[in-house]
Structure 1
């Protein structure tokens, strides 16, 4: 299946910005079943410097600086890529490791993959392990439970016990509050799952990207109505990193497009940087369109 993603980010400032430096995670990366074919980046005002690169986690990035006064900044990124569907039945047949066995392997890691996975057991800027998070996940990830089945059950647990409500959280809402109020958005659910998993000794990483949404039967799809999305992945020795989406209670496949992964949202923020002046206020507008070619 071939897709085209167009992601438009627009900042409007209260006063002219005289200078800005930015880094973006807006380019889809290659994965086990995803291949980037072509991308185009348009920035207005035109940057005086622009360069593409790769971050610590292997995510595709681009840097740019604008050195002329501007009250509006527009970043328009279009990416064409191809996704090969995965077979969920093969995943279940491949998984033989139990939760207890993985914890034992991580205690004395003897492969590069296990040693790298241990990094995703540590606290990160937005996710800290805790006794409350451990208590919420402990029974699901008992030593004798197969990892894949436990992760599927935990994904379903979050899906059924939490309510999707964008009015109850912000990007800074603590995980303990999300756990207590049982509501939030995809980023909250991904962070919550990762915090719980790390608290019970299972390596987990944050996945950032897009989710193709389909209109009701007989209705046209609205341009820009798709969305940025977040989910999580766990490390299973014989399978590698396997993804789960607690917002939709699914294992991501051909409708999930990966742009980046890291320890949490702070590692893969779509756009981050520094501006000089700007009046102390800004408005952000984002439009995402995922289209099958």
Structure 2
């Protein structure tokens, strides 16, 4: 089970000191059975007047920072160490009634999945619908997992990954027409496509890493985006169309949401002359941690041996 440390640093630069408003920070990895958070630290310069934590409607950990001073630079640095338990494609176990597409979610699940099935982008000419339907067999023998896998891997194979640091995402139709985009564009395309087929799907923001030197992944060095699809029997299953990954191998979740705008790693306001903003720099580093820096207590808890490690 890999022991990983993630360091995520974002720096906003200004031509002159500006007043910094409230900022919303989503950089703390989610805790779950497949990723166990051992330590987490959040450092902010200038130091905020107040820093408080909350869980949003999706259960993501969100830090709210309030400031009372002017500065020409805002630096937010998050460092976390966790145990990661990768789930491979072969471990996806679907209930018998859902192994063939189409199927209908159970009456117990459907009320909570409805908002994740709703389409978010207009498709009057059914361009996305037709593309999604191209993965469905005509003989009523479509294997559910195989179809979703085919969709994810086809995006990886047929579309060109092009990094883009500007905010926002392309529409699914733009991505289909251009045959290129960022990881978040590919995630939005796949979400809309599977929703067109009746699946519940959510947007995931987090980090990607190389499980081994022999595997090449796209989207490293920055935050990454992919998709979670609800499959009866396995629950929410990861599909990364940028890398063709099925399961969470190499993927570390931070935020899960219905739409990308609900999962921004860092957002906020500043006040000053319009030409003050100079730019933003983001660096993300994911590497294997030294197990000797952590000790297992008699009660099964993990204690960090690193000086300064906190649970903020």
Please tell me the TM-score bracket, short chain as reference: 0.7 to 0.9
Instruction: Note if 1:114 corresponds to 2:110.
Output: yes
The corresponding residue for 1:212 is 209
The corresponding residue for 1:99 is 101
Report how far residue 157 of structure 1 moved. 1.7
The corresponding residue for 2:67 is 66
Instruction: Note if 1:292 corresponds to 2:292.
Output: no
Report how far residue 128 of structure 1 moved. 4.6
Label 1:93 to 1:200 Cα distance change in 2 as closer, same or farther (>3 A): closer
The unaligned stretches of length 5 or more in structure 1 are: 218-224
Report how far residue 277 of structure 1 moved. 1.7
8 Å Cα contact 2:95/2:232 also seen in 1: no
**3-state SS of 1:227 partner:** coil
**3-state SS of 1:85 partner:** coil
Q: How does 1:9-28 map to 2 (within 5 A)?
A: 9-28=10-29
The corresponding residue for 1:262 is 257
Instruction: Note if 1:239 corresponds to 2:240.
Output: no
Report how far residue 200 of structure 1 moved. 2.2
**3-state SS of 1:26 partner:** coil
Report how far residue 235 of structure 1 moved. 0.9
The corresponding residue for 2:168 is 171
CA distance in 1, matches of 2:123, 2:82: 36
After TM superposition, the score normalised by the length of structure 2 is: 0.82
Label 1:215 to 1:74 Cα distance change in 2 as closer, same or farther (>3 A): farther
CA distance in 2, matches of 1:212, 1:39: 18
Label 1:15 to 1:292 Cα distance change in 2 as closer, same or farther (>3 A): same
Q: Alignment partner for residue 200 of structure 2, among 184, 203, 219?
A: 203
After TM superposition, the score normalised by the length of structure 1 is: 0.87
Instruction: Note if 1:189 corresponds to 2:186.
Output: yes
Instruction: Note if 1:80 corresponds to 2:77.
Output: no
8 Å Cα contact 1:95/1:148 also seen in 2: no
The corresponding residue for 1:162 is 159
Report how far residue 93 of structure 1 moved. 6.8
Aligned residues: 278
8 Å Cα contact 1:206/1:263 also seen in 2: yes
